[in-house]
Amino acid sequence: MNKKVLTLGLMLMAGMGATAQVSLVNPVPQEVTAQAAIFEAPAQWTINADKKHLTGYIYDALMTASPEAAKKADFKVTLGVRGEGKVSKYKKNIPAKSEGYFMKVTDKEVVIAGNDEKGLYYGVQTLLGMMNEGKLEACTITDWPDVPFRGTVEGFYGTPWSHEARKSQLEFYGRNKMNVYIYGPKDDPWHRDKWREPYPEVEASRIAELVNVAKANGVNFYWAIHPGVDIKWNDQDRDYLMAKLEVMYQLGVRSFAVFFDDIWGEGAKADKQAALLNYIDDNFVQVKKDVAPLILCPTEYNKSWANDEKGYLRTLGKELNKGIEVMWTGNSVVACIDKPTMEWINERIERKGYIWLNFPVNDFVRDHILMGPAYGNGLDIATDVSGFVSNPMEYAETSKISLYGIADYCWNMEAYDYQSNWEKSLKDILPSNHEALRTFALYNKDLGPNGHGFRREEGDELKDIVKAALEGDQYAVAMLNVKCNELEIACDILLNEKNNPQLIHEIRPWVLQGKNIAAYGRAVSLMSMFAPMKENNASTSTLINFENLYQQARSLQKQMFDLENNSAMRHPYQIGTKVATKVMLPTLNKLFAQATEKYNEIHGTELNTTAEYNPYKLTSTVAQLALLPIKLNGDVIEITPSNEVINWQAGGELVLETETSITFQGLDFNFGVNNVAQHFRFEILVNGAWKEIALMHYRDTDPVIHTGNELGGQTATKLRITNKSGVEQQVYFKNFRLIRR
C-alpha cells in the first residue's frame, strides 16, 4: 500500500469531525486501512493468548490499558507470534520483517500478530496509543520499523541523567518503539577515567535495575566503555577491559559498546582499536551467544576529521569483524544525515554506518535549551544505516520533545512529517498545558551561533510582522506586542504547572528569562509608538512616557544579563540563559535602537542606543574557540568548556576583553594535557601595552595551568593566550577561570 493512503485517510477522518485514533499513534504506522468507524473502548476484555503471553513484559504492557481483563467479556483481544495457533489464520497478513506485526481492530475484537516477540510488543503499544483518548478505530495495520536499531546514546558532557530520569526514558522508548539505549555519559568515571575499575556496589545495583527496566520496555541496554584516554596496547589492559565487561555481564548487561571518541595519541590507532574490538567479539560476544552486536565509536567519527591519507577509516573497514557496528556523526560533529553522507562512510568502513546524531544535545551551547522538532535528515536513507541513535540533552524530560520525532523518523522515514510530529510531542509531554508549552518552545529551537555552525529554524511565524515593524508599521509593532504578551502568559502558566514537575524544573531558568523578554518587548513596543511624538509625556500617565520606558527597557536588558549570570538560578553546567535569540530578541533590540535614535533626533537628547548588555567579549583565531560563551559567577569569570579535541594552530590566540578595567586576583585554566604550559604565552593589556605573565604547572601530573604571582593585583582591559610553540598543539579546553577583585 502506498503510505500516502494513511495520510489521506487521517485527513478525511479529521474532516468528518472526529479524531482518527490511529493518528494518535507514535511512530506513524507503515500501512493502515481505516474504516471511518470510531467507537468507545470496552470497559472489559478477554485476553486470548498462549500461556506464555499471559505473563511477561508484553502482557504487563497490555495491562496498563484502561479495560479490565475478564474471563468472559463481549470484547476479545487475541495475541500471538507467527507460528502460534492463536493467530495462525493471519499468518499471510504478518509482515516478514523483524519487529513487524499485523493488527486488526473491530468493534468486537482486536487481533495482534507479531512476526516475533518484539513485533507483538510493538503491536500492543500501537493499541495503547490508539486508546489514549478512550476510543478505538476500526482498521487494519501492517507495520514494521525502517531502521533495525533506534534510540539514544547518553553521550553528552555535563550532569549525567539521574537514575529516575533514565527509568523514565526507558519507559518512554518502549511506548515509542525505540529499542536501543546506550549508556555512555562522559562524566561517569567508571565509564571513562576509571574504566579498569568495577562500579561501587550502589552504582552497580542501579545499572542492574536499569537493565531490568530496559527489558520490561523492549529496549536493548548497551553499556559503553571509554578506555582510549590512557589505554596501553598490551595484554594487561586488554584483560582489564575483558574483566570489566564480564562484571557488567553479571549485572545483566547483554549489549556493549567501546568508545574511542574525543582522544588523540596512542589510543587513536585504528589497527590497535580493530584488534581489540575483534578480540572482544571473538572471545566475549561470540562465546556468550546471548550478546548483541558490538558497537565501536571511532576516533574519526565524522568526515571533517577524517584523514583519508592516513587511512584510519579504511583500516577499520578492512580489519574489523564484519558483525561489529561503527558509529558516525556525519559530515561534521553536529550534522544532519543524508544519502551522500552514508555513501561516503559506508564505502570506507565496508558496512552500513551506525548513526550517532548530535541532536538535541546542547553541551556545546549550554545557554540554550532545545525544544524544537527533529528534522533535516534524509528520508531516503533507511537502507543505508544499521542504526540511528540521538544524543540528547542532560535535560532528560525536555529531550523527549525531539526524541519523540526521532522515534517516528526511524520507524517510518517516508511518512515522517516533523511539524505534525512536533505538535503531537508537546501534547504527549504536557497534555494539560501543551499550548503554553508550544508557545514557549517556539522561542527555544535555535542553538545560536556556535563552533559547529549548526542552526535550527526559529521565529518563522514572526518574519512578516518583524519586517513590517522594522519599517515603521505600528500595526505590526502592536502585533509583536501581542506575541510578547502570549509569551508572558505561557511562561506564567508553565511556572505554575504541576503535572510534569521534572520538565518545569529543567526549563525554569529559560522560562524566567522568557518573562524578561516579554516585558522588554512590551516596553520597546511602547517606545516605538511614543518616539515620534514631540511631547515627552505621550500619555495621560505621569509614569508612562518615553524616557521612563527607555529606563525600563535598559533595566530589563541588565536583568536579562543578571539572570544569565545568576549561579543560584542556573543548573550546574549551564553557562547562560538565552531565549528567542534568532528573531524575537534581535528584532526587539533593533526596535529599541530605532526608537531611541528617533527620540534623540526629535528631542536633542543623547540616550545610549546600545541594546545588548555584555561587559565581556571573547575573540579567537582558533576556530573551535571563537564562539564559546562567557559566564559570570560573582567575581569569577569563566569561559564555557569545549568538549572536543582543540587543534590550536601555531600563533593562534584567544583574547578576552572587558568593558572596564578589572583587577586580577587569580587565574587558572586546564588544557587537559600535562606539561603543556611551556607551549603557550599569556599576556595582559596594561595601559595600552602587552605584559607577559609566567605560566606553570604545580605538578608534572597536573594539567591545570597557573599564572605567576605577579598577576595578582594587576589591572587590565584585555588578556590573551597564544600558541608560541611554532607547531599545532592538540589540547582540550576543559576549564578557564578568572577571579577578579
Beta carbons within 8 Å of 286's beta carbon, 6+ residues apart? none
Interatomic CA distance for residues 646 and 595, integer angstroms: 43
Domain edge (last residue) among 124, 143, 162: 143
Same domain? 578 vs 465: yes
Share of the chain above pLDDT 90, in %: 82
How remote is the C-alpha of 664 from its chain's centroid?
Answer: 37
Among 286-295, 325-334, 390-399, 642-651, the minimum mean pLDDT is found in 642-651
Domain edge (last residue) among 143, 164, 189: 143
Confidence at residue 70, expressed as pLDDT on a 0 to 100 scale:
92
Q: In DSSP terms, which residues pair with 225 in a beta bridge?
A: 258
User: Using 50, 70 and 90 to split pLDDT, how confident is the model at 644?
Assistant: confident
Of how many residues is the chain composed?
Answer: 741
Alpha-carbon distances of 548 from 484, 538, 555, rounded to whole Å: 19, 11, 10
Q: Could you check whether the bond before residue 27 is cis, i.e. omega within 30 degrees of 0?
A: yes
Q: In DSSP terms, which residues pair with 78 in a beta bridge?
A: 48, 111
- Whether residue 443 lies inside any domain: the answer is no
Confidence at residue 540, expressed as pLDDT on a 0 to 100 scale:
59
Same domain? 579 vs 622: no
- Whether residue 38 lies inside any domain: the answer is yes
Interatomic CA distance for residues 608 and 606, integer angstroms: 6
At 475, which CATH number? Answer: 1.20.58.460
Q: What is the mean pLDDT of residues 120-126?
A: 98
Q: What is the chain's percent helix, strand, coil content, to nearest 5?
A: 40, 20, 40
Among 14-18, 238-242, 258-262, the minimum mean pLDDT is found in 14-18
Mutual orientation of helices 501-530 and 474-495 as an angle, nearest 10°? 160
Same domain? 553 vs 575: yes
Same domain? 275 vs 397: yes
- Whether residue 438 lies inside any domain: the answer is no
Same domain? 138 vs 161: no
User: Using 50, 70 and 90 to split pLDDT, how confident is the model at 537?
Assistant: low
Q: In DSSP terms, which residues pair with 666 in a beta bridge?
A: 739
Beta carbons within 8 Å of 639's beta carbon, 6+ residues apart? 618, 628, 629, 630, 656, 733, 736
The 8-class DSSP code of residue 387 comes to E
Same domain? 506 vs 564: yes
pTM above 0.85, yes or no: yes
- Whether residue 441 lies inside any domain: the answer is no
How many Cβ atoms sit within 10 Å of the Cβ of residue 361?
25
At 173, which CATH number? Answer: 3.20.20.80
Same domain? 547 vs 679: no
Confidence at residue 542, expressed as pLDDT on a 0 to 100 scale:
76
- Whether residue 15 lies inside any domain: the answer is yes
Three-class SS of residue 238? helix
Contact indicator for 480, 528 with CB cutoff of 8 Å:
no
**Burial class (CB within 10 angstroms; exposed 0-12, middle 13-18, buried 19+) of 133:** exposed
At 672, which CATH number? Answer: 2.60.120.260
How many degrees, rounded to 5, is the angle at CA 496 between CA 490 and CA 500? 95
Residue 279 has pLDDT above 60, yes or no: yes
Same domain? 590 vs 696: no
Instruction: Give the torsion through C-alpha atoms of 202, 204, 210, 212, to 10 deg.
Output: -110
Q: What is the mean pLDDT of residues 594-605?
A: 95
User: Using 50, 70 and 90 to split pLDDT, how confident is the model at 653?
Assistant: very high
- Whether residue 571 lies inside any domain: the answer is yes
Interatomic CA distance for residues 729 and 741, integer angstroms: 32
Confidence at residue 271, expressed as pLDDT on a 0 to 100 scale:
97
Three-class SS of residue 524? helix
Q: What is the mean pLDDT of residues 19-29?
A: 90
| pLDDT tens per residue across span 335-371 | 999 999 999 999 999 999 999 999 999 999 999 999 9
The amino acid occupying position 401 is I
Range of the domain at 228: 149-417
Contact indicator for 714, 637 with CB cutoff of 8 Å:
no
- Whether residue 455 lies inside any domain: the answer is no
User: Using 50, 70 and 90 to split pLDDT, how confident is the model at 642?
Assistant: confident
| pLDDT tens per residue across span 302-330 | 999 999 889 999 999 999 999 999 999 99
Residue 16 has pLDDT above 50, yes or no: no
Residue 436 has pLDDT above 80, yes or no: yes
Q: In DSSP terms, which residues pair with 143 in a beta bridge?
A: 101
Residue 15 has pLDDT above 60, yes or no: no
Same domain? 530 vs 662: no
DSSP per-residue letters across 20-87: -GGGG-SSPPSEEEEEEEEEEPPSEEEEE--GGGGSHHHHHHHTTSSSEE-SS-SSEEEEEETT-GGG
At 90, which CATH number? Answer: 3.30.379.10
Structural domains counted in the chain: 4
Q: Between these two residues, 540 and 621, which has the higher pLDDT value? A: 621
**HSE on the CB side for 352, CA within 13 Å?**
14
Same domain? 353 vs 270: yes
Same domain? 278 vs 398: yes
Residue 11 has pLDDT above 90, yes or no: no
Residue 149 has pLDDT above 80, yes or no: yes
Residue 10 has pLDDT above 90, yes or no: no
- C-alpha cell of residue 531: 518616539
Share of the chain above pLDDT 70, in %: 96
Confidence at residue 311, expressed as pLDDT on a 0 to 100 scale:
95
Confidence at residue 701, expressed as pLDDT on a 0 to 100 scale:
86
Confidence at residue 541, expressed as pLDDT on a 0 to 100 scale:
67
Beta carbons within 8 Å of 81's beta carbon, 6+ residues apart? 53, 87, 113, 114, 115, 116, 117, 119, 120
Residue 460: name the closest of 484, 441, 442 by CA. 442
Same domain? 590 vs 482: yes
- Positions marked active-site: 262
- Whether residue 424 lies inside any domain: the answer is no
Confidence at residue 7, expressed as pLDDT on a 0 to 100 scale:
42
Alpha-carbon distances of 54 from 82, 109, 110, 127, 171, rounded to whole Å: 17, 17, 16, 17, 20
Mean pLDDT of the chain: 93
Domain edge (last residue) among 572, 603, 634: 603
